[in-house]
C-alpha cells in the first residue's frame, strides 16, 4: 500500500514539475525572445491591416514580435532599432496601450517635415537628405503633414522618431501619440514626440494570421 501511495505521489509531483517547467519556459520565451501581437487600427495601412483590399479600423492581423533583438542583458545590448524597423511599444506617458509604428529618426538625428516629405539630418548628411519611402501607398506617399508637435524634431539620445505608414490617419511622433485633446498637449502630462528605447517591446518579425497575409516583415532599403 505504501508503494502505491508513493507511486501516485511521484506521478503527480512529476506532472506538477513538468507544468512548472513548461510555464516557466513560455514565460521566458514571451518575455525575452518572441511574443504574439494583434494589430489594431489602420495607422500602419497598407503595410499592416490591409485586408480584403481595405484598411481595417479594428483588430486585424496577428504578428510575431522579436523581443530578443532589442534586449539588454546586464549592460550588453543585443541590438538597436534601425531606420525602417516596425516596432511595438508603449508611447511616452501611456503604459496601458501598445502602439505599432515605423522607426524614421534615429538618436541624435534631426527629422524635418518639408513640403510633406521627410528629410533626415545627421553626420553623414549634414545638409539633409530626403527619405525615400516606397512602402507608403499612393495616398500617403510624399504626404506626411506636420501636426501640433511642429515640423522639426531633434531626436534625443536613446530615443527615436516614429511614424505610422498611414500618414493621413496615424497618431505618432507628429502629435506626441495623442488620439484626442483630453490627453494633453505635447510636452504636458509626459507627452513627448520621442520614443525612449526602454519603451520599445520589440520588432515585428512576421505576419502569422490570416494565412493569405503570411509573410516575413522585411526592412526597406533606403536609396540615400
Q: For residue 42, is it within any domain?
A: yes
Angle 130-131-135 from CA coordinates, rounded to 5°: 145
Domain that holds residue 105: 37-216
Q: 144 in a domain, yes or no?
A: yes
Of 173 and 2, more confident: 173
- Can you give the pLDDT at residue 28? 67
Average pLDDT over residues 17-34: 74
Looking at the domain assignment, is residue 20 inside a domain? no
Q: Which residue has the higher pLDDT, 202 or 75?
A: 202
pLDDT, mean over the chain:
86
Of the chain, the end-to-end C-alpha distance in Å amounts to 79
CATH code for the domain in which residue 188 is found: 2.10.109.10
27, part of any domain: no
Number of domains observed in the structure of the chain: 1
Q: Evaluate whether residue 30 is within a structural domain.
A: no
Global pTM reads 0.85
Q: Would residue 61 count as lying in a domain?
A: yes
Residues 73, 77: Cα–Cα separation, whole Å: 7
Q: Does residue 17 lie within any of the structural domains? A: no
Q: Does residue 173 lie within any of the structural domains?
A: yes
Residue bearing the bigger pLDDT, 224 or 44: 44
Mind spelling out the 3-state secondary structure of 103-147? EEECCCCEEEEECCEEEEECCCCCCCEECCCCCCCCCCCCCCCCE
pLDDT of res. 6 = 66
**pLDDT reported for residue 180:** 59
Residue 32 C-alpha from the chain's centroid: 15
Is residue 158's pLDDT more than 70? yes
Amino acid at each position: 500500500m505504501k508503494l502505491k501511495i508513493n507511486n501516485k505521489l511521484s506521478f503527480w509531483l512529476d506532472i506538477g514539475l513538468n507544468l512548472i517547467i513548461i510555464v516557466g519556459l513560455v514565460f521566458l520565451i514571451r518575455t525575452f525572445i518572441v511574443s504574439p501581437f494583434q494589430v489594431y487600427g489602420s495607422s500602419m495601412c497598407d503595410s499592416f491591416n490591409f485586408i480584403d483590399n481595405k484598411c481595417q479600423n479594428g483588430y486585424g492581423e496577428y504578428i510575431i514580435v522579436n523581443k530578443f533583438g532589442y534586449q539588454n542583458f546586464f549592460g550588453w545590448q543585443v541590438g538597436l532599432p534601425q531606420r525602417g524597423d516596425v516596432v511595438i511599444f508603449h508611447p511616452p506617458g501611456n503604459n496601458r496601450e501598445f502602439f505599432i509604428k515605423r522607426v524614421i529618426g534615429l538618436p541624435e538625428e534631426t527629422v524635418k517635415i518639408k513640403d510633406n516629405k521627410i528629410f533626415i539630418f545627421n553626420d553623414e548628411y549634414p545638409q539633409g537628405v530626403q527619405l525615400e519611402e516606397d512602402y507608403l501607398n499612393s495616398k500617403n506617399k510624399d504626404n506626411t503633414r506636420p501636426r501640433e508637435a511642429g515640423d522639426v524634431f531633434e531626436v534625443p539620445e536613446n530615443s527615436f522618431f516614429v511614424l505610422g505608414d498611414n500618414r493621413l490617419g496615424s497618431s505618432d511622433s507628429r502629435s506626441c501619440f495623442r488620439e484626442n485633446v483630453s490627453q494633453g498637449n505635447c510636452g504636458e502630462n509626459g507627452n513627448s514626440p520621442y520614443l525612449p528605447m526602454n519603451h520599445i517591446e520589440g520588432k515585428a518579425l512576421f505576419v502569422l494570421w490570416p494565412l493569405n497575409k503570411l509573410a516575413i516583415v522585411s526592412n526597406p532599403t533606403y536609396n540615400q
